[in-house]
Chain A
Amino acid sequence: MRYFLKRLGFLIFSIWAAMTLNFILPRMMPGNPALILFGRFQGKLPPQALKSMELEFGFSHAPMIIQYFQYLGNMVTGNWGISYTYFPLHVTSLIAQYLPWTIGAVGIATVFSAVIGTFLGIWIAWRRNGIMDRVLPIVTMFMQSIPYNWSSFVLLYIFGFSLSWLPMYHSYSANTTIGFNGPFISSVISHGILPVVTIFISGVSGWIIGMRSNMINTLGEDYVTFAEAKGVSPRRLIFSYAARNAMLPQITSIAIVLGSVVGGSILMEQVFSYQGIGFLLNNATSSEDYPLVQGIFLIIAIVTLVLNFVIDMLYSRLDPRVRTGGAN
């Protein structure tokens, strides 16, 4: 319980920090960019219209500290402002429209990389110094260093442009009706393959290497040596004895890779024009749509922080040492 409260406290503290960062950053820059943008309308609109727009977008000339608390209040109550570029739309409704695509692509890719990477890691750790154990780590080092935008580019070039096996851009084709129907679903799948593979390529290596070294550590434990000595079959030894324990720390590595996967997804979405949150972020920054930029950063931060919290909770259920502080 104490552990839970501590983690919950950190979750709230870090979300507060992300909000504060969001508030401070634009105000730290020379010339408040939001006000500069607002200045564009100066002279083009009558003062009353300007005044009502100010209210609409939530600008105020109140002292900084009052602005800050107003801002925090707005964030907490879900009033994240109105987008400049998609004018009457609220930031929250735009995010709700784009976020599922990213969560879907990143989620599926993460599940695939976790499962495949873990099994590969178990395999090469068991066959220590075999041919795969020599080759695979080097291959994964290379894969880990590939920039997401480049792997998307190459995949797109090979499978989209040269071979024309898969559609090149967007997350579904425009001539299908959105909904639960065959053509739409198959178009979503065919559009999603390359983006998912892109994230998988960079994501899987961490799982392989992590699992490999965890396995090597557990295989060195006395209880495994003992089990081997008393004649437990290799299969049982690998999966019931060693891998079960070696898999535990892998759960925390979700949290570690999450940040880079989310960042990679931003690049991937740009290349594929995939309608996810990263694509929206790029559009928002290039059109200087600051309420949207802030909203997207906040939602990305909240999603990753909450996921981290969930993983912490899960891990503490699986490994009680974490809760009692025995691990350190």
Chain B
Amino acid sequence: MSAQSPTLPSVNPGAPSMKKRKRRKGNWSKFFHHPRAIAGLIILAFFVLLAILAPVLAPYNPQANIFIPLQPPSWQHLLGTTNTGQDIFSQFVWGAQTTLMVSLIGGGLSLIIGLLMGMYAGYRGGWIDGLLNSVSNIFLVLPSLALLIVIESYVKGTSPLIIGMIIGLTGWAFGARVFRSQTMSLANRDFVVAAKLSGMSDLRIMFGEILPNMSSIVATSLMYGCLGAMLAETGLAFLGYEGMSTSSWGVILYMADGGGAMLSGAWWWFVPPGLAVALVGTSFSLMNFAMDQITNPRLANSKRRRKSRVANSGT
């Protein structure tokens, strides 16, 4: 396993890792100067602003069907209208809010569960590790969308909030695996052993010593989680599990599919929401890529050998 170098240090002021603190600053400022990270941040910021300003930006009520149906984009209707005469731009702007919210809830919840499961399993080891690892392996290989559909078919009429929570409850396995292996490699480092010997409680070691050393992985995992949650939400809403009273990007696609956007040639109906999902997803991937290049020196400098960094952990 190419254990990613835990160059990111502890926030705990007493922690014996002065050397690493310098490097941490380096990593984050490198991140904010990396062109791909900046591009990703700009795209994400654009859609986040769109979502926050939805009440101001949306010109009409997204549900009001009072316009001439199936108009192509114009100045009155930036993205045209639906077959029932709703303004698609208003739906799109409000959809940004719903979709990004579900994405954050799903990604955040799966991060928290994955972190707890992975760190606990990796830190404790033994049969607890065996059990938790088996559970997360099962969740890892079960096709999550199929599982989500089955759950949704029992839970009728869900709101975006509940959808986000269900996505979070089923999507934590990948993070758990990454955190587990990272915790296992950190748990034997000198600074953790020192913390144990000084009588720190397990909880404090896990959250005060180990967690801060994985902050780049936590960030990467959160972004992957949000990306996965957004795609899952789009899929579930498209299959009609989100109800038509909300307007998320997936719901717009669902309405477009049901409303015959295809056969009436209304490309303006289904192109924007999918494109927006893909762009937000790209922004997450861009930031992840930047993070990867910064924390994994092998990818950054080609043909350079891996150096042992254990010596830096200092006591």
> Which residues of A are at the interface with B, using a C-beta cutoff of 8 A?
10, 13-14, 17-18, 21-22, 25-26, 29, 33, 128-129, 137-138, 141-142, 144-151, 153-154, 156-157, 161-162, 168, 213, 216-217, 219-220, 222, 225, 255, 258-260, 262-264, 266-267, 270-271, 281-282, 284-286, 288, 290, 293-294, 296-297, 300-301, 304-305, 308, 327-328
Contact = CB atoms under 8 A, between A and B. Distances in A.
B195 interface: no
Nearest to A205: B285
Contact of B138 (A17, A168, A284): A17
Contacts, number: 177
B278 A259 contact: no
B298 A217 contact: yes
A153 B143 contact: no
A144 B285 contact: yes
B298 A216 contact: yes
Interface stretch (B4-12, B85-93, B105-113, B264-272): B264-272
B274 A146 contact: yes
Nearest to B135: A17
A157 B262 contact: yes
A300 B143 contact: yes
B76 to A, nearest CB: 24
Interface stretch (B118-126, B145-153, B204-212): B145-153
13 contacts: A14-B137, A25-B151, A26-B154, A138-B282, A142-B281, A145-B282, A153-B257, A154-B270, A263-B144, A271-B257, A285-B150, A304-B141, A305-B141
A142 B151 CA distance: 29
A25 B270 CA distance: 34
A33 B188 CA distance: 50
A264 to B, nearest CB: 8
Contact of B235 (A29, A141, A267, A288): A267
Nearest to A297: B150
Contacts of B232: 263
Interface string B251-281: 0010011000011010100110111011111
A265 B291 CA distance: 31
Contact of B278 (A21, A129, A147): A147
Given A168-B262, A259-B144, 16 more contacts: A14-B138, A14-B142, A25-B151, A146-B274, A146-B277, A147-B250, A153-B274, A154-B270, A157-B270, A217-B298, A220-B302, A260-B143, A263-B232, A284-B153, A285-B149, A305-B142
A328 B253 contact: no
A300 B147 CA distance: 10
A128 B273 CA distance: 35
B240 interface: yes
Contact of A154 (B147, B265, B271, B303): B271
B265 to A, nearest CB: 7
B152 A145 contact: no
A159 B303 CA distance: 44
B239 to A, nearest CB: 6
Contacts of A153: 253, 256-257, 262, 270, 274
B153 A216 contact: no
B295 interface: no
A222 B281 contact: no
A300 B144 CA distance: 11
B94 interface: no
B238 A270 contact: yes
Nearest to A221: B305
B79 to A, nearest CB: 15
B145 A128 contact: no
B172 interface: no
A142 B306 CA distance: 30
Nearest to A288: B153
Contacts of B149: 266, 281-282, 285
A225 B304 CA distance: 10
B52 interface: no
Contacts of B193: none
Given A25-B154, A153-B257, A267 B239 contact: yes
Contact of B153 (A141, A262, A293): A293
Nearest to A301: B142
Given A262-B143, A301-B142, A220 B262 contact: no
Given A146-B277, A156-B262, A161-B263, A286 B240 contact: yes
A161 B265 contact: yes
Nearest to A156: B262
